[in-house]
């Protein structure tokens, strides 16, 4: 592949990967999951998982992308052929691309809510409104298919435009402008929250580590969140990794991505909880934390309308830089596989994804009841889509870890990682054994109630499973 398909600067991959990683996962999901799961204990488990499962898989995924220099689907085809492993391993590419496609379809709808709230804030329509009115206005938004579709359309169209302009003119230029701006806005929001909110309460909520507070379900959610927030297991990082300069250090970059992503999630958490506690509200509000609880806080704070608007701009921008990383893997595949021009590939991808997004938009209103998904699975169509990605993500991560750990040769990995043999061995142990075990464990959360005293046995079995899967199916003959 020509050098036109390499990022312009050595550091651009870092910028792009951080752009992908930082998104609704940091600003919306992380705070509400932390709130629901008792604060510090959740954060402790989350940070541990990032370190021992997240970073190794992040390295593995980037490695696979850079070693193939192709879109995830074509890249996995190439690697399985050149490494003499069964072609079933190509499913890594297919699953990743499908997950990216499905996630983008609902990510765009939810990001659209932030569009609505930025408007509400800046226009001052929530100033002085009481809690009941604000939560009623959220319900009214969800009840309107027209509004949801409108915002979804705007959001996904803008994402498509950026990617359609190409990896240099579109993605790189967009990121170079958006990322610093977003960081600045986050700083402004944080300083404001520390001034008008209850910083002490927020800090003690986030940093009091009491593991007894954490349910088994909380452990699992923390692991799932560490995947989602690092954009792992769905080809986004692989696609960006394919454009990564061969000089940039994989290990250092991966650690930086994870650090920046975590610091930003914590900054958002401190800001949001300082505002929420400062207004005497509750932390455990679930998904409504950002769209109901926070607007209630902004409504009564000095300068809250403006700062609230600025905050939702931050959410929109962060979601946008993540959304473009979801368009890229599929669009790049259409270009490589069918020789489409980039604009055409992106238009096709985004249009199909937009159509699937309607399923999510309608799930909150006209399809909230009575569709076949409720009848068969007892979930709304949106919940079914989310459920599917919750399976695809960990399975993708598991396979990526095994593939990178066993199928790639030692020399090839050492060359890519450009690190000491000692670090390489640590990484190899983590991707061969620890990460697959951890991921399989996340995956098993769909099987309710594994008795507490069975846990060690289950973990041991999973380790043995990872070992056999790697040895038997992946070691090159
Ligand atoms: N990491 C993004 C977030 O935290 C979500 C995402 C997942 C983006 C997967 C790309 C791929 O919001």
pLDDT of residue 341: 95
Q: Say what the pLDDT of residue 445 is.
A: 60
For the chain, the distance separating the N- and C-terminal CA atoms, rounded to the nearest angstrom, is: 28
Please give the Cα distance from 78 to 407 (Å, whole number). 13
Least confident of 90-99, 268-277, 282-291, 442-451: 442-451
Task: Inform me whether the pLDDT recorded for 446 exceeds 60.
Answer: no
Task: Take atom 11 of ligand 1 and give the residue whose Cα is closest.
Answer: 231
Average pLDDT over residues 377-393: 85
The pLDDT value given to residue 2 = 45
> How many other CB atoms sit within 10 Å of the CB of residue 341?
11
Residues 6+ apart with CB under 8 A from 36: 284, 286
Tell me the mean pLDDT in the region 424-436: 93
Residue 344 is part of a domain; what is its CATH number? 1.20.1740
Report the atom number in ligand 1 closest to the C-alpha of 236. 11
More confident residue, 131 or 161: 161
- Residue 247: predicted pLDDT: 83
| Token pair 């498509």: residue | 160
- pLDDT-wise least confident of 70-79, 139-148, 199-208, 380-389: 380-389
Residue 448's pLDDT is 54
Quick one: average pLDDT of 321-338?
A: 95
Q: Give the separation between CA 91 and CA 76, rounded to whole angstroms.
A: 8
With a 6 A CB cut-off, is 111 part of the ligand 1 pocket? no
More confident residue, 423 or 198: 198
Distance 43 CA to ligand 1 centre (A): 18
Give the ligand 1 atom nearest the CA of 232.
Answer: 9
SS3 129: coil
* Residue 190 predicted with pLDDT over 80: yes
At 151 the pLDDT is 98
pLDDT of residue 464: 80
- Alpha-carbon distance of 402 to 254, in angstroms, equals 18
Cα–Cα distance between 16 and 237 in angstroms, integer?
9
How sure is the predictor about 452, in pLDDT bands with cuts at 50, 70 and 90? low
For residue 1, what pLDDT is reported?
42
pLDDT digits (tens, 9 = 90+) for 247-257: 888 889 999 99
Whether 386 shows a pLDDT value over 50: the answer reads yes
What percent of the chain is modeled with pLDDT above 90?
64
Query: Residue for token digits 């593939």?
Result: 403
> Distance (Å, rounded) from C-alpha 113 to C-alpha 132?
19
* pLDDT of 222: 85
Three-state SS for 311?
Answer: helix
How much distance in Å is there from the Cα of 23 to the middle of ligand 1?
A: 6
Q: What is the DSSP letter of 287?
A: T
Distances from the Cα of 430 to the Cα of 18, 264, 436, 443, 460, angstroms: 23, 25, 8, 18, 15
**What pLDDT does 463 receive?**
77
- Average pLDDT over every residue of 208-221: 78
Query: Which residue, judged by its Cα, is nearest atom 6 of ligand 1?
Result: 231
Q: What DSSP letter does each residue of 103-144 carry, written as one string? A: HHHHHHHHHHHHHHHHHHHHTTTTTT--HHHHHHHHHHHHH-
Whether residue 26 has its Cβ less than 6 Å from ligand 1: yes
Q: Rounded to two decimals, what is the model's pTM?
A: 0.91
What value does the mean pLDDT of the chain take?
89
Q: Return the DSSP state at 70.
A: S
Coil, strand or helix: which one is 230?
coil
Q: Is the pLDDT of residue 37 over 90?
A: no
Closest CA to 64 of 342, 463, 431: 431
Nearest CA to ligand 1 atom 7: 231
- Tell me, what's the pLDDT at 355? 98
pLDDT digits (tens, 9 = 90+) for 116-132: 999 999 999 998 888 89
96 lines ligand 1 (CB under 6 A): no
Highest mean pLDDT (candidates 185-194, 201-210, 458-467): 185-194
* Band of residue 106 on the pLDDT scale cut at 50, 70, 90: very high
pLDDT of 179 higher than 80: yes
For the chain, how many structural domains are there in total?
1
Nearest CA to ligand 1 atom 9: 231
Name the residue with tokens 């009941």. 132
The domain in which residue 225 lies consists of 3-473
């Amino acid at each position: 592949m020509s050098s036109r398909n390499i990022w312009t600067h050595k550091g651009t991959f870092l910028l792009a990967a951080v752009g992908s990683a930082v998104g609704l996962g940091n600003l919306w999901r992380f705070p509400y999951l932390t709130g629901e799961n008792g604060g510090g204990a959740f954060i402790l488990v989350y940070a541990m998982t990032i370190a021992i499962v997240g970073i190794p898989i992040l390295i593995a995924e980037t490695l696979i992308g850079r070693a193939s220099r192709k879109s995830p689907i074509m890249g996995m085809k190439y690697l399985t052929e050149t490494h003499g492993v069964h072609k079933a391993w190509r499913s890594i590419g297919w699953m990743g691309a499908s997950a990216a496609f499905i996630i983008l379809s609902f990510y765009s709808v939810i990001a659209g809510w932030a569009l609505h709230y930025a408007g509400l804030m800046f226009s001052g329509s929530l100033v002085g409104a009481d809690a009941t009115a604000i939560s009623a206005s959220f319900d009214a938004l969800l009840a309107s298919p027209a509004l949801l579709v409108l915002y979804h359309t705007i959001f996904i169209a803008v994402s498509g435009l950026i990617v359609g302009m190409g990896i240099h003119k579109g993605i790189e230029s967009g990121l170079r402008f958006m990322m610093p701006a977003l960081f600045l806005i986050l700083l402004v929001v944080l300083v404001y929250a520390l001034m008008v909110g209850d910083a002490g309460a927020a800090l003690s909520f986030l940093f009091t580590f009491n593991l007894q507070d954490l349910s088994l379900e909380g452990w699992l959610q923390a692991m799932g969140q560490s995947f989602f927030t690092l954009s792992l297991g769905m080809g986004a990082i692989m696609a960006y990794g394919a454009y990564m300069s061969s000089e940039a250090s994989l290990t250092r970059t991966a650690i930086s991505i994870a650090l920046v992503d975590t610091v930003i999630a914590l900054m958002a958490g401190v800001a949001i909880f300082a505002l929420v506690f400062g207004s005497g509200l509750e932390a455990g509000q679930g998904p409504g934390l950002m769209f109901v609880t926070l607007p209630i806080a902004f409504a009564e704070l000095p300068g809250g309308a403006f700062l609230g608007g600025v905050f939702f701009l931050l959410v929109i921008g962060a979601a946008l830089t993540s959304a473009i990383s979801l368009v890229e893997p599929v669009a790049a595949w259409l270009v490589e596989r069918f020789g489409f021009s980039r604009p055409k590939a992106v238009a096709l991808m985004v249009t199909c994804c937009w159509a699937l997004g309607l399923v999510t938009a309608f799930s909150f209103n006209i399809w909230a009841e009575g569709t076949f998904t409720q009848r068969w699975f007892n979930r709304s169509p949106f919940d079914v889509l989310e459920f599917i990605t919750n399976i695809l993500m960990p399975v993708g991560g598991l396979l990526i870890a095994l593939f990178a750990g066993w199928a790639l040769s030692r020399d090839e990995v050492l060359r890519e990682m450009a690190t000491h043999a000692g670090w390489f061995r640590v990484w190899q142990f983590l991707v061969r054994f620890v990460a697959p075990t951890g991921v399989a464990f996340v995956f098993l959360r769909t099987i309710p109630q594994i008795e507490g005293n069975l846990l060690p046995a289950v973990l041991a079995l999973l380790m043995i499973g990872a070992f056999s899967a790697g040895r038997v199916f992946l070691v090159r003959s």
